[in-house]
Copies of this chain bind each other. A is one copy, B any other.
Amino acid sequence: MSIVGIGIDVVPVARFAEALARTPSLADRLFTAGERVSASGEARSAESLAARFAAKEALAKALGAGGGMLWTDAEVLVDDVGRPSLLVRGTVAARADSLGVAHWHVSLSHDGGIAAATVIAES
């Protein structure tokens, strides 16, 4: 295997929360229904959403994206021990396939008002 691309993104949580508050339709455009609720079924916090947005930005960077992908075609899933993974479909899967991506790796962080994510696309 080899590395197809990598991405990092850092998101100030306060700015991201303001953007979500200012544009109510933004959350629908950025996140799937599943991403908007936590494992316990409550609305996901702004900082947790900011980390997911960072993951999608990092994924787009890993694909060298020049646009044309839908934010909701990449989804951050969380398993029963809280480990995140990426699920891609549609526009994002098409671009990933064209580059030979076989495995995605993702990690999220949020603390003290800063959300961050890193992604590696592996062939």
Chain A contact residues, CB within 8 Å of chain B: 1-3, 5-12, 14-15, 57-58, 61-62, 64-67, 79-83, 103, 105-114, 116-118, 120, 122
Contacts and interface: CB of A to CB of B under 8 A. Distances in A.
A8 B117 contact: yes
The listed residue with most B CB atoms (<10 A of its CB), out of A11, A58, A79, A109, is A109
How many copies of the shown chain assemble into the complex? 3
Given A8-B118, A66-B80, A114-B114, 20 more contacts: A1-B3, A2-B103, A5-B107, A6-B105, A6-B106, A6-B107, A7-B107, A8-B8, A8-B116, A9-B111, A10-B10, A10-B109, A10-B116, A12-B113, A12-B114, A61-B83, A64-B83, A65-B81, A66-B81, A107-B118
